[in-house]
Structure 1
């Protein structure tokens, strides 16, 4: 089987779409499929990393004509330009069995046009905010409800809704961790980019908890790196990382996680890792609320509404 995945990464978009699709891609490859990625050359793209992992890659332009470079993550892409750019790369190639689109900016227009390269189209989604022309739709969130999608999907579309379909890496198919009566190790991560500087925000909130051992995994291009480095150098119990290859191991060793409401939510839930969650994008709000209602984490709301003092109080409540 031949599969093409269309997803992007950037400080605005985040790295979560590529991360979860990479999990799927590795499973498909393990089953004998040929998997390729088509991604734009946006700042922070993952094309080289995907290529180094052995996946065929197709590089799309960083910018399309008349496109606003500051547009919101949920804004529609100029779909015809994206299709035209794909055509330059894919026309003349062997057809794909599936194209999987994990992108808030692509809707039924793009999906219909993309059928020239594949008979079947799938969408990975979190929002239920636009029309879809797909054969399969996957939403792994508790907030992904069938009634929300009913008026947006074509007849005969199969839906995979809810966390039973969460795209978890194999290492998270494991027993839950033991929850200790008192927390001593904290892991902080707000995604691969953290454009909202929430790791630095968490550092300020944790400054008074001198007894805690804290790992901050901040992302290589974190905009507050210099300030965080200066803070970490004054705290012998703090370790600041731009990247770690053993993130799962660090999660199993942590007593508390402080992070965003993206794909890591399901990794934390699978481990039963106590978490203080802050939404760093609008698309994380609904699922953050529903997961909190289910008891999966403590949800503090949108980042704009969470002060250093409020986060400090929440940490104190959880660790003491």
Structure 2
């Protein structure tokens, strides 16, 4: 049986995205008969990984200094003997990746084009990924450009997002999903909640369904406020995210991998930026008419008012929501992780 090793981290500082997309790839690999092992710097997501049925090795190292983790990582690599190693971190260095290449085929998940990565395969599944950008990145470098897997055809979504059909867009917008990312570093869940309560045109006019992740910093305050409003619903430890998405008429979401899940479900979405690496994605989704980009929540003074305004416009325009839903469905079909494994491992 072939073995895959995933090196990724998640915590309150960097969120959950790296871990969650690696889990999606791992689940696809497991269905194809491969064994998967996850290696993390700390124990923040150890239980999440184990609950998905995977082995997790915690090194007790610093996630932001990967060059110093070799005394802990090398014995794991030797023991596991992986056929391929997936790396998903912004803290890799050229030396780290070169050294890792001695232990198996190296596969790096990228979206920032930081340097000419010395790996065997490079994956950028974003809709804005462009081969010419990578050709420019490697031009004049001594590092050979790796095999490139680019575009939304490789988006690593869980199998639950392989949907043959989705519910038709309803004329009236009754339920809105709110997703703020794994760690909510800008504390947007609480800000959105208070904003909706104070907006007389939104408060009580539709249901707001908030996803509360394990790292949410305002969890208790949000629960206290939500308990006083019957139209606010909180969802924790969601097992079937697709079902929750499919039950909603629109969504507000940070511009991470969740956008591809919402696209697969055909949910018209207002997206926003909470980290610099999300800027290209938010812009690309809007440019293609798939989603509305409300801008950068860190820098836009009237950001919350703008989101409320866009939400009301979306509610009043069912035809627009139908078009957005259709374009989203054309963007992601949920088979990217399986396609990825078949092309580079099997």
**TM-score above 0.5, yes or no:** yes
In the alignment, structure 1 segments of 5+ residues that lack a partner are 65-76
Correspondent of 1:253 among 247, 253, 256: 247
Return closer, same or farther for 1:229/1:94 CA change in 2, 3 Å cut-off.
closer
Given that 1:107 and 1:131 are in contact with CA atoms closer than 8 Å, whether structure 2 keeps it comes out as: no
Counting matched residue pairs gives 304
Given that 1:204 and 1:308 are in contact with CA atoms closer than 8 Å, whether structure 2 keeps it comes out as: no
More helix by share: 2
Q: Distance in 2 between matches of 1:298 and 1:233?
A: 30
Q: Distance in 1 between matches of 2:135 and 2:66?
A: 23
Point out 4+ residue stretches in structure 1 off by more than 4 angstroms: none
Written as runs of structure 1 = structure 2, the 5 A alignment for 1:145-164 is 145-153=130-138, 154-155=143-144, 157-164=146-153
* Residue 179 (structure 2) pairs with residue 189 (structure 1): yes
Q: Distance in 2 between matches of 1:123 and 1:183?
A: 40
Displacement of 1:9: 0.3
**Residues 168-189 of structure 1 deviation map (CA, whole Å, 9 limit, x = unaligned):** 1112111244222221111111
Correspondent of 1:104 among 73, 80, 90: 90
Higher relative contact order (CA 8 A, sep 6+): 2
Return closer, same or farther for 1:180/1:264 CA change in 2, 3 Å cut-off.
same
Written as runs of structure 1 = structure 2, the 5 A alignment for 1:135-214 is 135-153=120-138, 154-155=143-144, 157-174=146-163, 175-207=165-197, 208=199, 209=202, 210-214=204-208
Q: Distance in 2 between matches of 1:216 and 1:251?
A: 11
SS of the aligned residue for 1:239 comes to: strand
SS of the aligned residue for 1:85 comes to: helix
Q: Distance in 2 between matches of 1:143 and 1:37?
A: 28
In the alignment, structure 2 segments of 5+ residues that lack a partner are 317-346
Compute the TM-score of the two structures, normalised by the length of structure 2: 0.83
Displacement of 1:14: 1.0
Q: Distance in 1 between matches of 2:223 and 2:50?
A: 31
Q: Distance in 2 between matches of 1:30 and 1:197?
A: 37
Displacement of 1:110: 1.1
Given that 1:79 and 1:109 are in contact with CA atoms closer than 8 Å, whether structure 2 keeps it comes out as: no
